[in-house]
Amino acid sequence: MPEPGDPRPSGARQAWRPLLSVPRAVAVASWRALVRFFNSDNLTYASSISYYALLSLFPLFLLLFSILGSATTDEDARLRVLGFVLRYFPRQFDFLSTQIDAFRQQRFQLGFFASLLMIWSSLGVFGAITTAVNYAWKVERQPNFFKHKLVAFLMLATASVLLVTALTIISAGSVVESNWFAARVGETPAAEWARGVWARWASTLLFIGVTGLIFYFVPNTNKVRFRDVWPGAIIAGLLWRVALAGFSWYVRDLSRFSVHGTIAGVVVFLLWVYVSSAVLLYGVELTVAYAQIRRLARQPDV
């Protein structure tokens, strides 16, 4: 035990010193997050998010189509945006494609009161995410009803902004996929590599960005630092990518034996949202553990 005035850190502090290394801190935080994830109610919250996602899905679709109708009149652009959105789901979700086609064929714009109703109906899934994130941070004082709804509304507004961003991304993607660009790319190997990364990872990068913003803005606590959320967001994004590939294979293999039609599609949709929610909440737990390690490492030695 160091004497008073001894510049050497105490034993406990010295044990934490190696965690100043970011990779090691991320590794320790990943393990702690895994333990905390299974020792808490995160899976229950994931099922809650799945339930509210199903209830909020079609009002959200109505809102998205209304926004798309106001943002662009180009049918091809709308279809490409919707195709980009569907990248976040396994390809075998036929009932989603059917509903999207039905919405697309009926061109409409919602009125003021109809928009308010659709917004209120769509807030459920965002409210469930907010509650789950605050639970992971062990927030003792939950936000009041109006603040809770305000946070959910801001998440919905952000989703709308991201839809417009997706429209911009699709426009950029059209340039990337054009013959003119392909001819120029052939002259530059680095550009060919960038084109492949864009085509393969655009949706994953957007998922990581959105996840990082959720991890930073949603918790009702002042313990979150902006730079501490990104290890959890990146790992959650990569896990989500792996889960998407594995789930697509699972659903494709299962479809040969399915005899339940649309009902099976709804069940599989709930299962996919459940898996995605579990990945998201694991990322939250990782962010909490990583922030705690970094906060302790930043404390001055006593």
Q: What is the pLDDT of residues 173-222, one digit of tens each?
A: 444 444 444 555 555 555 555 555 665 677 778 788 888 888 988 888 88
Residues 6+ apart with CB under 8 A from 68: 78, 81, 82, 163, 167
Using the predicted structure, report yes or no on whether residue 171 has a pLDDT greater than 80: no
Using the predicted structure, report yes or no on whether residue 161 has a pLDDT greater than 90: no
Between these two residues, 235 and 67, which has the higher pLDDT value?
A: 235
Residue 2 lies in a domain: no
DSSP state of 87: G
Residue 275 lies in a domain: yes
Residue 208 lies in a domain: yes
pLDDT for the residue numbered 72: 55
Does residue 178 come out as left (phi exceeding 0), alpha (psi in the -120 to 50 range) or beta? Answer: beta
Residue 154 lies in a domain: yes
pTM: 0.73
Domain of residue 279: give its range.
22-296
Residue 11 lies in a domain: no
How many domains would you assign to the chain? 1
pLDDT for the residue numbered 256: 55
pLDDT for the residue numbered 93: 56
Predicted confidence band of residue 4 (pLDDT cuts 50, 70, 90): very low
The highest-confidence range among 28-32, 97-101, 160-164, 206-210, by mean pLDDT, is 28-32
Between these two residues, 139 and 109, which has the higher pLDDT value?
A: 139
pLDDT for the residue numbered 5: 46
Between these two residues, 110 and 272, which has the higher pLDDT value?
A: 272
- Side-chain half-sphere CA neighbours of 25 within 13 A: 24
Predicted confidence band of residue 118 (pLDDT cuts 50, 70, 90): confident
Cα 185–chain centre separation = 32
**What are the backbone angles phi and psi of residue 140, rounded to the nearest 5°?**
-75, -35
Using the predicted structure, report yes or no on whether residue 163 has a pLDDT greater than 60: no
CB 50 within 8 A of CB 270: yes
pLDDT for the residue numbered 83: 65
Residue 302 lies in a domain: no
**What are the backbone angles phi and psi of residue 256, rounded to the nearest 5°?**
-70, -20
First to last CA, the chain: 12
Q: What average pLDDT does the chain have?
A: 73
**Number of helices (H), then strands (E), in the chain:** 11, 0
Cα distance between residue 137 and residue 108, in whole Å: 42
Cα 302–chain centre separation = 40
Residue 16 lies in a domain: no
Residue 3 lies in a domain: no
Residue-wise pLDDT for 58-102, tens only, equals 777 777 666 666 655 566 666 666 666 666 666 555 555 566 666
Residues 6+ apart with CB under 8 A from 239: 279, 282, 283
Element at 23 (helix H, strand E)? helix 22-38
- Looking at 96-100, 149-153, 177-181, 245-249, which range is the least confident one? 177-181
Using the predicted structure, report yes or no on whether residue 34 has a pLDDT greater than 90: yes
Cα distance between residue 294 and residue 19, in whole Å: 8
